Amino acid sequence: MKDETILQSIGDSLLNIQEDETFTLIETATADGFTPVEIIENGLSPGMLAVGDRFERGDMFLPQVMMAATLMGKCVDSLKGNMAGNEAAEKKGVIVIGTVEGDVHDIGKNIVKVLLNVNGFEVHDVGRDALLEKFVEKAKEVNADIIASSALMTGTMEVMGDLETALKEAGIRDDVKTIVGGAPVTQYWAEKIGANAYAENAGEAVQKAVELMQV
């Protein structure tokens, strides 16, 4: 039986920015039978979310956050290289993702991006504090199936509704599905603005994206 505590240890070592320890634990988890996706979803991602929580509380500073994010990127890259051919190659759809204009939070968005990518989606990130035009232009450029937007502040939630309007005005709303998420966002809000789906967390965002591609 696989030892689930190893995944908690991976998250803790990422949180503490212990690069050598993190990679050693990942090797141990892989030898124990955990898949790259399991390690990312249940080990690295919770660790990175904890980084975000500490940063929001003022217990961690931006340089440390950036170091943790860089370490997570290295870990994900190494795990993607170990994926089985079908696990890494199957393309489920094309997604444009970003944090809406006025909002500079992006840790949660970045985790969603990683999970979507390792689960077979082609992901195009328009970044944080992204103008509506960036979402629209990128969606047209890459022929997106889904647009995922994040808002971490109540004051920027309204921009998600503006994005729905912008997509309609650009004539592409019927060609894409939309997913919204972020701490203040709710299912009620998603329905109110006309989004196709709401995701409470990163894992659910992947699930909803898969479901939308099947509609």
Encoded tokens for 203: 């894992």
Would you state the pLDDT for residue 1? 75
Would you state the pLDDT for residue 85? 53
Mean pLDDT in runs of 10 for the chain (215 residues)? 91 96 96 92 90 87 89 90 59 94 91 86 96 98 98 94 97 98 96 97 90 92
Contacts 24+ apart (CB under 8 A), 156-159: 156/100, 156/101, 156/102, 156/103, 157/182, 157/184, 157/185, 157/189, 159/100, 159/101, 159/102, 159/103, 159/132
Would you state the pLDDT for residue 86? 47
Q: How many other CB atoms sit within 10 Å of the CB of residue 135?
A: 27
Model pTM score:
0.80
Q: What is the CATH number of domain 91-213?
A: 3.40.50.280
Q: How far apart are CA 143 and CA 117, in angstroms?
A: 17
Cβ within 8 Å of residue 53, ≥6 positions away: none
Q: Where in the chain is the domain with CATH 1.10.1240.10?
A: 5-87
Fold of 5-87: 1.10.1240
Q: How far apart are CA 117 and CA 88, in angstroms?
A: 9
Would you state the pLDDT for residue 189? 97
**DSSP assignments along 123-144, one per residue:** EEE--SSB-HHHHHHHHHHHT-
Would you state the pLDDT for residue 87? 52
Q: Where in the chain is the domain with CATH 3.40.50.280?
A: 91-213
